[in-house]
Structure 1
Amino acid sequence: MAEVARVEGVPPTMGQSPFAIMRGNQFERALFRDDAQRMREALVDAGVLPVGPAPFRDLRIRKSGGPLRKLDVALRETTTLLHQIAEAGGSGDGDLPALLASATISIPGGIMLPEAVLVLDVLVIRYDQRLPTLVVGEVKTFPDRGGHTDGGQLATARAQAGVYVHGLQLTLADLGLADRIAVSTTGFLVFSRPGYNLPSVRAGEDLRYQARRAERGFARLRAAAATMPRVEEGITVGNAIERVLAADCAYDEACVSFCDRAASCHARALERGDPAALGGDVARFLNGIDLHRAVALLSGGVPSNAAEADLVRRVRETRELGGLT
C-alpha cells in the first residue's frame, strides 16, 4: 500500500508522524548501542534474561542503525541461526546469542501481500529450558505509566507481539524445527519511562490470545491471497498498483492510524459524498444518505423516501432540543 500511496503522491508514513518515527528510531538505537548494554540490563532486571553472560547478535539493516546491508541478508542469517540453535539444543552454545535485534523471518504459504517478511524488534533465546525457547519482545516508545498506561497502546503492542509469536511458530514448522525449538506464548514489552528515553520492561505478557487472533488473521490473508492473480499470469508490480488504484475502496476514520492512502481515500470519499468522510457517528446518523443529498435536505429539500423523511425529522428534533428553532 505504501507503493500505491507514492504513486498517488502521498508520502508513506504508516499512520505515524515523522516525529514519532524519528523518536522510535532513536529509542531503538539507544537500546542496542554498546552491544545492547542498556537493553540487556533492563531485561535482566525484569527477569526476562537470566543473570550471567547474554551474547548479543545485531541483525538490523544499516538504515535502522545495524550492520547488515539488506533485509535478505538478515533473513538468511536468522534462518541459519535458528538451525544452529536447534542443533545446540537446550544446553546452548557459548557462541550463540541470547539476545537478538531484528530477527527476520519469512512467513510461508504466501500469507501476506506483497511480502511475507516479519522483522521482530527484539528476541530473547532461553537455553535453560528443555528446548531452546524463543521469547518475543516488542519495543514501543509509549510511556509506561504502570497501572495507568494507555489501554489502546498496550493492546497495539500486544497484538503486534502476538503476530510475531504465531509467525515464529509458522516459520519453525516450515523449517522442520518445531519439535526442536519452542516459542513462548509469554513475551515482554519494552516501553519508555515517562519523560526519559530509558527502557521500562513489562515482563510476563500473556500473548496466547493475540497469537490465536493472529492465526485467524493469517487464515483470512491466506484465503485472500489465493484469489489474487499469480505473477506467472502476467501480473507485475506496475499493473498490480494500477489495479489497486482502480479498485473501489471504503474509507473509514480508523484508516488514518495505519494506511498510507488515508488522505487520498478521504478526499475521494468527500467528493462522492460518503458520510464516513466526516466520521462513523455522522455515517450512522445519516443512515445511508450521502452528504450531498443530506445538505440538500437540510437546505429545505423535499424528502423522497421514508429514510430521508426520518433524517429531516431527527434534525428538526435535534434543533428544537438545542433551542435553535
Structure 2
Amino acid sequence: MDKAALAGALGSPPAFGQSQFAFMRGNAFEARVKADGGAELLRLVHERLDPGAEPPAGAEVPDLSAAGPQGRVARTALALREAAAAGGWTLLDHPMLALDVAGSPAFLEPDAVVVHPDGGWTVVEIKSFPMLDGSADPAKVGAAARQAAVYVLALEEVAARLAGDGAPPRVHHRVLLVCPKDFSNLPTASAVDIRRQRAVTARQLSRLTRVEEIAGTLPEGTCFSPELPAEELAAAVDAVPASYAPECLSTCDLAFHCRARARESGAVAALGRPLRAELGGLSSVEEVLAAAHGEAGDPDDPAVAALRRAAVLRAEALDAARAACLPVPPAGPEVPACR
C-alpha cells in the first residue's frame, strides 16, 4: 500500500525527500552517462570489470517498455535471455526486477544492467556524489553497495528461473559504481565488491516474518485504508508491532508516526539502538530512571549498576556546581546572578 498516504492520514506525513535541485542534477548526470547508446557506460564496464573481452562497439539497447510492473518484469527477463544467447554486449536501461520480500513481491529498478559477451550480468549504479582523487565518501559508497546487493539478489532469482536444467547465467558480485569525477560532470567509475552486503541482505530477508503470518495475528477485518477515520486507522496500524529507531527517519514513510508512539510510551529505542542495547532488559525511560534512583532493578545487573553509579556521579557534580556558584552583587533591581 501507499505508506506515504497512510502516514498523511495519520497526521504524520513524511518530511524527507531528495531536493529538486539534487534530483535534476542526478538525472542530468545519468543522461550524460547513458548518452550515445550508453557508449561511455559500456566503456567503463569494459575497462573496470571485463578488459579481456572484446570492446563494446555497437552494443544492443533493447526496449523494455511494457504494461505495468509485472509486464516490465517479464520483458526484462526476456531481454536478459535474448542478450545471453546473442553473445555480445547489451545494455538494459532501467530494467524492472521482482524480489520476494517476506512473501510479497517488491519491484526494483536498477539504473542499468549490462550483459557481457560471455553471458554474465553486471549491475550498474549511477550516483551524483563525486569521486575525489578516485575515492568517494565511504558512507555513500556503502549505501550504494547495499542497494546494489538487493538488485544482485533479484537478478539471481531471474537467472535461476531462466536456467532450466542448465547452468544459470552468472551474476557478477562486483558492481560498477559510476560517479562524477572530482568537481566536474565527467563520469568515472569504480568496481565495488558487494559479496558481504549480498550475504547480509540474503540473511536478513530469510529471517523476515512472512506477511501471511503477520496478517494471521491481526483482528478480523483490520484495514489500513487512508479513508478510514483517524482513530480507527491509528488502532489498525498499532495492531502491527513496530521496532522504531532513529535510523527509520531516513527510510520509512511511517517513521514520524512510530517515533511519536515510541515517545508517548517512553520507549528507550527512540533514543537509538546502541543505547537500547546497553540497557539490556530496561525497555522504557521510567524503568531506567527507577533503576538509577534505586527504586527498581536488580543491583547485580550490569546495566542497573552502571545507571546507579552514573546517578551518584551526577549528584556529586551538581553539588560541586552549587558550591561553586557565588552570588554577584546586583547593579540594580535585577535578580542576583551566579558566576
Which interval holds the TM-score relative to the shorter structure? 0.7 to 0.9
The letter of the residue matching 1:305 is: A
Q: What is the CA deviation profile of residues 277-310 of structure 1, one whole-angstrom value per residue up to 9, with x for unaligned ones? A: 3334654676626335767999xxx642246786
| Equivalent-residue separation in structure 2 for 1:188 and 1:267 (angstroms) | 40
Q: Does 1:171 align with 2:162?
A: no
| Equivalent-residue separation in structure 2 for 1:207 and 1:4 (angstroms) | 34
Q: Which residue, 285, 304, 323 being the options, matches 2:295?
A: 304
| Equivalent-residue separation in structure 2 for 1:220 and 1:114 (angstroms) | 14
The letter of the residue matching 1:153 is: K
| Equivalent-residue separation in structure 2 for 1:86 and 1:234 (angstroms) | 48
The answer (yes or no) to whether the contact 2:126–2:177 under 8 Å persists in 1 is: yes
Find the counterpart in structure 1 of residue 248 from structure 2.
Answer: 255
The answer (yes or no) to whether the contact 1:4–1:244 under 8 Å persists in 2 is: no
Shift of 1:201: 0.9
Q: How does 1:146-295 map to 2 (within 5 A)?
A: 146=133, 149-177=136-164, 179=167, 181-203=169-191, 205-221=192-208, 224-225=210-211, 227-229=213-215, 238=225, 243-280=236-273, 283=276, 288=282, 290-291=284-285
Q: 1:111 to 1:297 in 2, by over 3 A?
A: closer
The letter of the residue matching 1:317 is: L
Shift of 1:273: 1.7
Find the counterpart in structure 2 of residue 101 from structure 1.
Answer: 93
Greater relative contact order structure (CA < 8 Å, 6+ sep): 1
The letter of the residue matching 2:210 is: A
Q: Does 1:120 align with 2:110?
A: yes
Q: 1:172 to 1:225 in 2, by over 3 A?
A: farther
Q: 1:318 to 1:180 in 2, by over 3 A?
A: same
Find the counterpart in structure 1 of residue 19 from structure 2.
Answer: 18
The answer (yes or no) to whether the contact 2:93–2:112 under 8 Å persists in 1 is: yes
Superposition CA RMSD, Å: 3.8
Question: What is the TM-score with the length of structure 1 in the denominator?
Answer: 0.73
The answer (yes or no) to whether the contact 1:101–1:121 under 8 Å persists in 2 is: yes
Q: Residue 96 of structure 2 aligns to a residue in which SS? A: strand
The letter of the residue matching 1:211 is: R
| Equivalent-residue separation in structure 2 for 1:148 and 1:180 (angstroms) | 34
The answer (yes or no) to whether the contact 2:110–2:151 under 8 Å persists in 1 is: yes
Q: Which residue, 76, 79, 85 being the options, matches 2:77?
A: 79
Q: Residue 167 of structure 2 aligns to a residue in which SS? A: coil
Find the counterpart in structure 2 of residue 63 from structure 1.
Answer: none
The answer (yes or no) to whether the contact 2:291–2:297 under 8 Å persists in 1 is: no
Q: 1:171 to 1:29 in 2, by over 3 A?
A: same
The letter of the residue matching 1:80 is: L
Q: Does 1:133 align with 2:135?
A: no
Q: Which structure 2 segments of 5+ residues have no match?
A: 227-232, 299-303, 323-339
Question: What is the TM-score with the length of structure 2 in the denominator?
Answer: 0.70
| Equivalent-residue separation in structure 1 for 2:68 and 2:133 (angstroms) | 37
Q: What is the CA deviation profile of residues 92-140 of structure 1, one whole-angstrom value per residue up to 9, with x for unaligned ones? A: 4xxxx61111121223xx434643322222111111x2xx111122222
The letter of the residue matching 2:82 is: Q
Q: 1:210 to 1:275 in 2, by over 3 A?
A: closer
The answer (yes or no) to whether the contact 1:303–1:309 under 8 Å persists in 2 is: no
| Equivalent-residue separation in structure 1 for 2:5 and 2:83 (angstroms) | 36
Select the structure of larger CA radius of gyration.
2
Shift of 1:272: 1.8
| Equivalent-residue separation in structure 2 for 1:26 and 1:68 (angstroms) | 24
Task: State the aligned residue count.
Answer: 298
The answer (yes or no) to whether the contact 1:32–1:39 under 8 Å persists in 2 is: yes
The letter of the residue matching 1:71 is: P
| Equivalent-residue separation in structure 2 for 1:47 and 1:309 (angstroms) | 55
Shift of 1:263: 1.5
The letter of the residue matching 2:183 is: G
The answer (yes or no) to whether the contact 2:91–2:112 under 8 Å persists in 1 is: yes
Q: Residue 143 of structure 1 aligns to a residue in which SS? A: coil
The answer (yes or no) to whether the contact 2:160–2:168 under 8 Å persists in 1 is: no
